């Protein structure tokens, strides 16, 4: 069947929020698309880059799969055999918790050519939104990216880098705080929680590990990343770049 492949698939990282966070290369490739398979968290404004393309929603949210992963792979193969250029538009960066491996495997088995265009992942957008570099000279030399929940639905928290960023943590922030304390983080470790990073309505709040659960109400129902350690600490005297929403009283201090 490899000889039947007539098109190619371009995986594009759309960035974590507003459409203008896509890269120049990503926008250029998107403009060439005949069909676009897009994720739930991609900005609808991205359609303006490819108004001629057919857009197919294959999004997933919070573990509830609107489209089965195997079905997405099969759809990519079928579309690549029917169209010249198929774009797989993923939120953030395709290679960071984007299920890229499974889709590359499906296309490789069918002999279909691929390209990957990187994007801005949510950890970087959260750092930019709050003016908090993930790495710090001397005290923050390593950064870890993790999902808070495993594929089996269990929560995990570790202490493997100077800065740890946890994705998909919004529903169990209190449990995550307890897991991180058990893993060896100190009680006074700074934690910054950002939801909808990269969007105009982003929210950010500061916490200690012991009271991380207090952030749950503020960030409820919003895609959330949790930064722990050196990269969560506010930079002294840094100016605020854009208004962040303030946490209600009792929920945690606003960041920065």
Active site residue 139: no
Strands (E), 14-170: 35-38, 54-57, 60-61, 64-65, 85-90, 113-117, 143-147, 163-167
Question: Which residues, 6 or more positions from 153, have their beta carbon under 8 angstroms from its beta carbon?
Answer: 63
- Secondary structure letter of residue 69 according to DSSP: H
The catalytic position among 39, 43, 93, 129 is: 39
CA distance linking residue 204 with residue 212, whole number of Å: 13
Residue indicated by tokens 């299920």:
99
Span between the terminal Cα atoms of the chain, in Å: 55
39 is catalytic: yes
The sign of the torsion formed by the CA atoms of 191, 194, 197, 203 equals: negative
Kind and range of the H or E element at 14?
none
Residue 168 region by backbone torsions, left for phi larger than 0, else alpha for psi between -120 and 50, else beta: left
Computed on alpha carbons and rounded to an integer, the radius of gyration of the chain in Å comes to 19
Helix (H, G, I), strand (E, B) or coil at 65: strand
Token pair of 193, please? 């929680």
227 DSSP β-pair partners: 165, 192
Choosing from 43, 129, 168, 206, the catalytic residue is 168
Instruction: Mark whether 60 is an active-site residue.
Output: yes
Among residues 20, 60, 129, 211, the one annotated as catalytic is 60
Within 10 Å of residue 71's Cβ, how many Cβ atoms? 11
Query: What residues are labeled active site?
Result: 39, 60, 168
């Amino acid at each position: 069947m490899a000889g039947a492949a007539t098109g190619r698939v371009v995986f594009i990282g759309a960035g974590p929020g507003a459409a203008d966070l896509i890269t120049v290369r990503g926008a250029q490739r998107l403009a060439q698309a005949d069909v676009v398979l897009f994720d739930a968290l991609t900005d609808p404004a991205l359609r303006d880059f490819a108004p001629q393309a057919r857009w197919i929603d294959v999004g997933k949210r919070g573990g509830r799969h609107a489209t089965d992963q195997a079905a997405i792979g099969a759809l990519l193969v079928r579309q690549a055999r029917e169209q010249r250029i198929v774009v797989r538009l993923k939120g953030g960066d395709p290679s960071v918790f984007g299920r890229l491996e499974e889709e590359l495997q499906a296309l490789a088995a069918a002999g279909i050519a691929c390209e990957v265009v990187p994007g801005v992942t949510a950890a970087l957008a959260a750092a930019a939104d709050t003016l908090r570099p993930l790495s710090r000279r001397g005290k923050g030399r390593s950064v870890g990216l993790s999902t808070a929940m495993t594929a089996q639905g269990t929560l995990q928290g570790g202490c493997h880098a100077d800065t740890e960023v946890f994705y998909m943590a919004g529903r169990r922030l209190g449990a995550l705080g307890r897991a991180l304390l058990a893993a060896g983080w100190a009680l006074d470790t700074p934690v910054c929680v950002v939801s909808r990073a990269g969007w105009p309505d982003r929210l950010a709040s500061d916490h200690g590990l012991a009271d991380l659960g207090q952030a749950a109400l503020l960030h409820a129902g919003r895609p959330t990343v949790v930064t722990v350690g050196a990269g969560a600490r506010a930079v002294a005297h840094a100016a605020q770049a854009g208004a962040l929403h303030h946490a209600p009283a009792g929920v945690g201090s606003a960041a920065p």
